[in-house]
Structure formats: structure tokens, C-alpha cells
Amino acid sequence: MKPEDMLGGAPVAKPYIRTRDVFQTDQDRGTEGYSEEALALVAETEKTGVPEGANAIGMAGSAKHGTVAVQLFARVNPETHVIEEAGYRAHGCLAMIASGCAAAHWVEGRTVEQAAALTAEGLAEMRGPVPRDKSYTARYATCAVRGMCGDFLIRNGATYEDMLARPHACDDMSIDCVLCENCSLRDQMVDLRIESRHRAAEAKE
């Protein structure tokens, strides 16, 4: 995979950490402000990448702070909706890497419905403290989790109306949605809404 193919063509010039799945392009201030818990997640490679048999994916990020983004992948049991294995890719700062890793760990063993209930505050607590100006990365990671959960449901036939009616449905006026410039689930919801309107128009004919 070419570096520029990472996370939708985001530029990766002069990366400080560069692996197949993790790109740190923000130099940060060394590790100032990062907790031991967060740095341990950054150093871990167990959850990087795409699990075998992955059938759900979510992505969230923004270019407001430089290109900062995370992808979350999961293999979900189609019968029980239990997330059997998860992995992630991240681009940006150490905090984004740590947040993506923490999210991948947390969702495993939970159903997609349970995973969608994850909050940015809950993820931040699991991840450990990071510099204050990097706190938004927990919100991106939780949006990626919701995106992954929504993607699984949509792949399995959920309609626009189903997605609106589910617990923890997205609120486009929430802090998470306002901060998150790019969201895979938002794009999917737009497509579903268009399909819903087409069906309604056809039913009237």
C-alpha cells in the first residue's frame, strides 16, 4: 500500500512513525502530556490492521487539526452481533493512535448495539490522559466505532428508518458530529436517505 493511499489519500509527508497501518505525521512535543497508559497503547501493535474476515468498517476524522483520522475494522458474528475481533488504522498524532487502539480493544466481546453506546468520555478514561489540545481524538475514535456498528447494520439490511430508530442513533447536532469533519456513517446515512425518498416517491406513483 502506498503511503498516500492511507485513509483515503491523506498526505503522509515526513512521518515520524510509519508502519503499514499507523502513521504519526504530527511531531507532538515529544511525549509531553501523554500518560503511561496512552503511550503503551501507541507502542502496541496487536490491534493494528484489518482482522481476517472483517465485515464492518467505520472511519472518522478531520483536517481541522491537520489530517487526523482513524479507521476501525471488525469481524462481527452475523447471528449474535458480537464483535469477535477488531483492528484499527490511524493517521495523525500519538493521541489518535492511542484512541484507535483503545477503541479496538474495548469493542471486542461486545455486541454492535453495546459498542455503539461508547462515549468519548468513557474512551478517554480507558485510553489515559493525553495533551489537552489532543482531547478531540477520543471523539473521532468513538465516531469510528459508531460508524463501524452502523456499517454492519446497513450491510445486513437496515434501512434509513431503522437507523434513525436504533438506540444511540447519530445526532448531527451533537458535539461529536460537529467536530468530526469526515464520517463514513454520515455518508452512508445520506445514501440511505436518498434511497428512502426514492422508495416513497415510487410508492406514490
DSSP codes joined into one string, 130-184 = --GGGTTHHHHHHHHHHHHHHHHHHHTT--HHHHHHSTT---TTSHHHHH-SEEH
The Cβ of residue 129 has, within 10 Å, a number of other Cβ atoms equal to 16
Q: How far apart are CA 112 and CA 81, in angstroms?
A: 6
Tens digits of residue pLDDT in 149-184? 999 999 999 999 999 998 888 877 777 777 788 899
Would you place residue 1 in the very low, low, confident or very high pLDDT band (cuts 50, 70, 90)? very low
Angle of helix 120-127 versus helix 94-107 axis, rounded to 10: 100
Residue 4 DSSP class: G
User: How high is the mean pLDDT of the chain?
Assistant: 88
Q: Which of 1-15, 66-80, 93-107 is least confident? A: 1-15
Q: Which CA distances in Å does 171 have to 9, 64, 70, 200?
A: 27, 21, 20, 23
Tens digits of residue pLDDT in 97-133? 999 999 999 999 999 999 999 999 999 999 999 999 9
Asked if 128 contacts 37 with a C-beta cutoff of 8 angstroms, the reply is yes
Q: How far apart are CA 128 and CA 46, in angstroms?
A: 18
